[in-house]
Amino acid sequence: MSKPKVLQVGPLSERFNRELAEQYEVSALWQQAEPLAFLREHGEQFIYMVSSARFGCTVDQLALLPNLRAICSFGVGYDPYPLELLRDRGIVLSTTPDVLNDCVADLAMGLMIDSARRLSEADRFVRSGAWNSTTGFPLARRVSGKRLGIVGLGRIGEAVALRASGFSMPVRYHNRRAVEGSPYQHEPDLLALARWADFLVLTCPGGKATHHLINAEVLEALGPDGFLINVARGSVVDEAALITALQQKVIGGAGLDVFEREPQVPAALRELDNVVLLPHVGSGSVETRQQMADLVLDNLRAFIATGKLLTPL
């Protein structure tokens, strides 16, 4: 029996690429010299697509895939997919929820501690040889007991809140609607949450609805003792406003795992000591990435066998 054909938009781990190729007849779109010309010629063969929260897919690609029925995406984000078009065409999309909650929440805690206690900066201080008998490292800010404001209390936000309880941090959150049954106080006014919080942690989805939600006004409300932590999407923060706020000490500091134009990180950010910069590694542990990969393959297998995805969006 011939293997089902799968269109893979971008490369994932070597192991994933290998496992996919063992089970399916895979066409690697990114390896085509002219991806759209390839789709024009072969697009109608594909019913299944594999992509990721990084690569997504475009309207132009979809126009050349008239028989596409399912996209299995690696990652929990869905902002690079034209969702309305998918809905209109009846194309279903699976993501990889839950398996990455712990790692992303761990990283958010790491960024809170790093930015407030200045761990990365202190590491640079030691490495540079600046530590000597007369020069100690300047004092930092306490984390335990501080107020945590979560923007976007979903599965990852809940995991951050749970960890924060071990640090005796009171938690409030901002969502458009209150989360039913949540033990945390809902704050419908984002500015009020920013004024209240010592740490504002972003765990909301990206996309139009949250574009530049964190602007100069919110940063001003967070204030000179406040820290912004972004493990969501770069698009949620007005990066230019954030750079100004960090330069002028409008906020105390920031910890960022995501940026507006990845992998580009503005030089102005790289020059600042009051920001911790990570290369989008929220889910980046061996264990979690393996679980995410398995879930993509499980979704694909389930859809081919039953017409239903395991974790549809």
Q: How far is CA 15 from CA 9, 28, 209, 219, in A?
A: 16, 15, 35, 42
Which among 25, 44, 217, 262 is annotated as catalytic?
Answer: 262
Contact 146, 169 (CB under 8 A): yes
With contacts defined by CB under 6 A, name the span among 36-44, 47-55, 114-122, 154-162 that binds ligand 8YV.
47-55
- Residue 277: helix, strand or coil by DSSP? strand
One-character DSSP codes across 251-266: SSEEEES--TBTTB--
Contacts of ligand 8YV in 279-298 (CB under 6 A): 282-283
Kindly name the residue from 233, 239, 260, 289 that is annotated as catalytic: 233
Specify whether 212 is catalytic: no
CA atoms of 88 and 106, how far apart (whole Å): 37
The count of other CB atoms within 10 Å of the CB of residue 267 is 8
Does the protein bind ligand 8YV through residue 77 (CB under 6 A)?
A: yes
Q: What is the smallest separation between the CB atom of 141 and ligand 8YV, expressed in angstroms?
A: 28
80 binds ligand 8YV, rule: CB under 6 A = no
CB of 54 to ligand 8YV, least distance (A): 3
- 68 is a contact residue toward ligand 8YV (CB under 6 A): no
Cβ atoms of 154 and 204 closer than 8 Å: yes
Kindly calculate the radius of gyration of the chain based on its CA atoms and give it in whole angstroms.
22
Q: Which is nearer to ligand 8YV, 234 or 252 (CB)?
A: 234
- Catalytic, 180? Answer no
How many angstroms separate the CA atoms of 43 and 60, rounded? 11
Q: How far is the CB of 97 from ligand 8YV (least distance, A)?
A: 9
Quick one: which of 255, 260, 280, 227 has its CA closest to 103?
280
Q: Which of 8, 27, 52, 311 binds ligand 8YV (CB under 6 A)?
A: 52
* Minimum gap (Å) between residue 13 Cβ and ligand 8YV: 10
Task: Answer left, alpha or beta for residue 296, where phi above 0 means left and psi between -120 and 50 means alpha.
Answer: alpha
Site string for ligand 8YV, 84-103 (x = CB under 6 A): ----------------x---
Q: Which two tokens stand for residue 179?
A: 């989360």
Using rule CB under 6 A, residue 115 touches ligand 8YV: no
69 is a catalytic site residue:
no
At residue 212, the 3 state secondary structure works out as coil
| Under rule CB under 6 A, residue 54 binds ligand 8YV | yes
Which of 193/296 has CB closer to ligand 8YV?
Answer: 296
Which residues participate in catalysis according to the annotation? Answer: 233, 262, 280
Interacting residues with ligand 8YV (CB under 6 A): 52-54, 74-77, 100, 282-283
